[in-house]
Amino acid sequence: DQQVKQNSPSLSVQEGRISILNCDYTNSMFDYFLWYKKYPAEGPTFLISISSIKDKNEDGRFTVFLNKSAKHLSLHIVPSQPGDSAVYFCAASPIIQGAQKLVFGQGTRLTINP
C-alpha cells in the first residue's frame, strides 16, 4: 500500500522555465510534508517542508503548495537551473510525540535541459 505516490517517474524541463513536481498521499494522519533532493551516489538532502496548518511555503526559487482536501502537494522550482537536475522525493509524516517516521514517495527524476 503506497501511502505517498509520485506518479511521474521523470520530468524534463527547459532551463529558465518552471518545474512542477507532484505528490499525492492517502493517509489523512499525515500533517508534515517534506521534499528531498538526491544526486547520484549521495544521500538525500532536505529541500523544503510544510506543515498542514499552511498551504504554501516559499524558500528562494522553491515553493511547496499543499492542498489538504485533495491530499496533494507540489514543488515548484522557478527558474529551473541545470544544477536542479536530480531525483526529488516527497515525504510525509504524522507528527506524533517523540517520532517523525517519514514515508517517502518513489521519486521523480528531474532533468533540466540547457
Partner 1 sequence: GAGVSQSPSNKVTEKGKDVELRCDPISGHTALYWYRQRLGQGLEFLIYFQGNSAPDKSGLPSDRFSAERTGESVSTLTIQRTQQEDSAVYLCASSPDGYNEQFFGPGTRLTVL
Binding mask 91-110 for partner 1 (x = CB under 8 A): x---x--xxxxxxxxxx---
Applying CB under 8 A, the span of 14-22, 43-51, 52-60, 72-80 interacting with partner 1 comes to: 43-51
Residue 80 near residue 14, CB atoms below 8 Å: yes
**Residue 80: strand, helix, or coil:** coil
Q: Nearer to partner 1 by C-beta: 65 or 104?
A: 104
Binding mask 48-87 for partner 1 (x = CB under 8 A): -x--------------------------------------
Q: How many residues does the chain have?
A: 114
Q: How far is the CB of 95 from partner 1 (least distance, A)?
A: 7
Edge-to-edge strand list for the sheet holding 4-5: 4-5, 19-25, 72-77, 62-67, 56-59
Q: Nearer to partner 1 by C-beta: 44 or 110?
A: 44
Site for partner 1 in 17-36 (CB under 8 A): 34, 36
H helices present in the chain, as ranges: none
Q: Nearer to partner 1 by C-beta: 22 or 79?
A: 22
In order of 13, 39, 42, 83, 91, the CA distances from 57 in angstroms are 22, 23, 26, 22, 15
